[in-house]
Structure 1
Amino acid sequence: MDELEKWDHALSNVQNLLAYGKSSGTSYTIVVLINGDAIMGYLVARLRDQVDTLQSAGVAFHACHNSMQSHGLADSQLPAGVTVVPAGVADLAALQDDGYRYIKP
């Protein structure tokens, strides 16, 4: 996700997928990759709380180092457990190579 205003929609999609998986007995591996202006969402308290909750449900969160640099963010400002990746676009390509699907809210 690269747009700050898409956080709520994206996290709602993740929650819906987790709920569907639970009700259908289907297991999903979910990685939320944040880059661009959306990187600033990691500083919003209510979004951080949702990140923590989703992480406890097994959802992984990635942060683009390039976006962090361009927005003046340090690793220490991210919620615990967020994985910093060197480049969001490279991470996205690698995840797709590993069989992940790209879903953009």
Structure 2
Amino acid sequence: MIQSTIHYGLHFGLPLFIALLFYRKNWLRAYGIMLLAFLIDLDHLLAHPIFDSNRCSINFHPLHSYYAIIVYVLLLLPKPSRLIALGLVAHIISDVADCCLM
């Protein structure tokens, strides 16, 4: 229960914190764009079973691989991709925290 609360709290709370801190004027738009990072969880559909509460997503699913994470970090550099990259990196941070709690 605590693990899932922390995991989903980070999934929704970390992008909200970033949006309110750095994009105060347009925080709702920034938050919405960062939440689009949930789309990387579509790679869970490739796994069998699709959901396993005892499986660490990091380096198991293709969009959660170390190579993908490097791309997400590099996407922080150009301004046009920064918001989605922030969402992706925040998503990975929450998944790493989940793995650490297993």
Instruction: Give the alignment's TM-score, normalised by structure 2.
Output: 0.38
Relative to the length of structure 1, the TM-score reads 0.38
- The structure with the greater share of residues assigned to helix is 2
Give the strand-richer structure, 1 or 2. 1
